[in-house]
Amino acid sequence: MNKPLPFQIRKECPPGACVCGRDELLDAWEQAPDGTDIRVLQLTREEEKKLIAAIEAIGSYEDLGRIKRRLRELLGITLSITPSARGVSTVMGLSIRLDEQPGLCRKTHEALPAAVRRCFRNKPDIVYALLNARDLLREEDL
């Protein structure tokens, strides 16, 4: 890496532990910095722990929307939460996932949706609000 990065980035995962493409993303950025989005690499392990704590502490449906917007704005991460077509009787009836993205660690791909599930288990009113927002007349994804 010859070119200095504009911010501190996540350390690389042990060899064989992850297939995030971190190094390839950095190489692409070095070749074309204006065309390569490396914001996701700002999510260091320490920052990820803070993010998980913030997700688990979400108190309302509006807070969830703010966290989702901030993830997209600051890191380029898209979190999607959609209820099952067959209905939702538990938190497991929700599909919570992060879109595939170069540089996004496999552990992060698992940890963030798990934090959202823990939040929903502790605050079921957020799930009810999410389901109410997706009534029969709207197809809005949060």
Is residue 16 in a domain?
no
Alpha carbon distance 71, 6 (integer Å)? 19
Is residue 118 in a domain?
yes
Alpha carbon distance 40, 47 (integer Å)? 11
* Residue 28 neighbours by CB under 8 Å, 6+ apart: 36
Say whether pTM exceeds 0.75: yes
Is residue 11 in a domain?
no
Host domain of residue 33 = 22-133
Q: Per this entry, what is the length of the chain?
A: 142
Q: Amino acid identity of 13?
A: C
Is residue 6 in a domain?
no
Q: From first to last of the 142 residues of the chain, give the pLDDT tens digit.
A: 566 777 888 888 887 778 888 888 888 888 887 778 888 999 999 999 999 999 999 999 999 999 999 999 999 999 998 876 555 555 566 888 999 888 888 889 899 999 999 999 999 899 888 888 766 445 555 4
